[in-house]
Amino acid sequence: MNGEKHLEKAKRIDESQKDLNPKTAWEAIIEIVYGAAFNYIAYLCEKEFGEHMETNKGLARFLEQKGLHDVAELFRTLDHERVSKWYGGQDDGDAVRDARKILKKIKARAGIE
Q: Where are the alpha helices (DSSP H) in the chain?
A: 3-17, 26-49, 59-65, 69-88, 93-109
Query: What is the structure's pLDDT at 29?
Result: 92
Residue 93 CB neighbour total at 10 angstroms: 10
Query: What is the structure's pLDDT at 103?
Result: 97
pLDDT tens-digit readout, 2-52: 889 999 999 999 999 999 998 888 889 999 999 999 999 999 999 999 989
Query: What is the structure's pLDDT at 68?
Result: 97
Is residue 18 packed enough to be buried (19+ CB in 10 Å), middle (13-18) or exposed (0-12)? exposed
> What is the model's pTM?
0.92
Q: Which amino acid is at 30?
A: I
Q: Domain-by-domain residue ranges, the chain?
A: 3-109
Helix (H, G, I), strand (E, B) or coil at 68: coil
pLDDT confidence band for 112 (50 / 70 / 90): very high
Query: What is the structure's pLDDT at 88?
Result: 61
pLDDT confidence band for 55 (50 / 70 / 90): confident
Q: Which amino acid is at 82?
A: R
Q: Are 26 and 96 in contact (CB under 8 A)?
A: yes
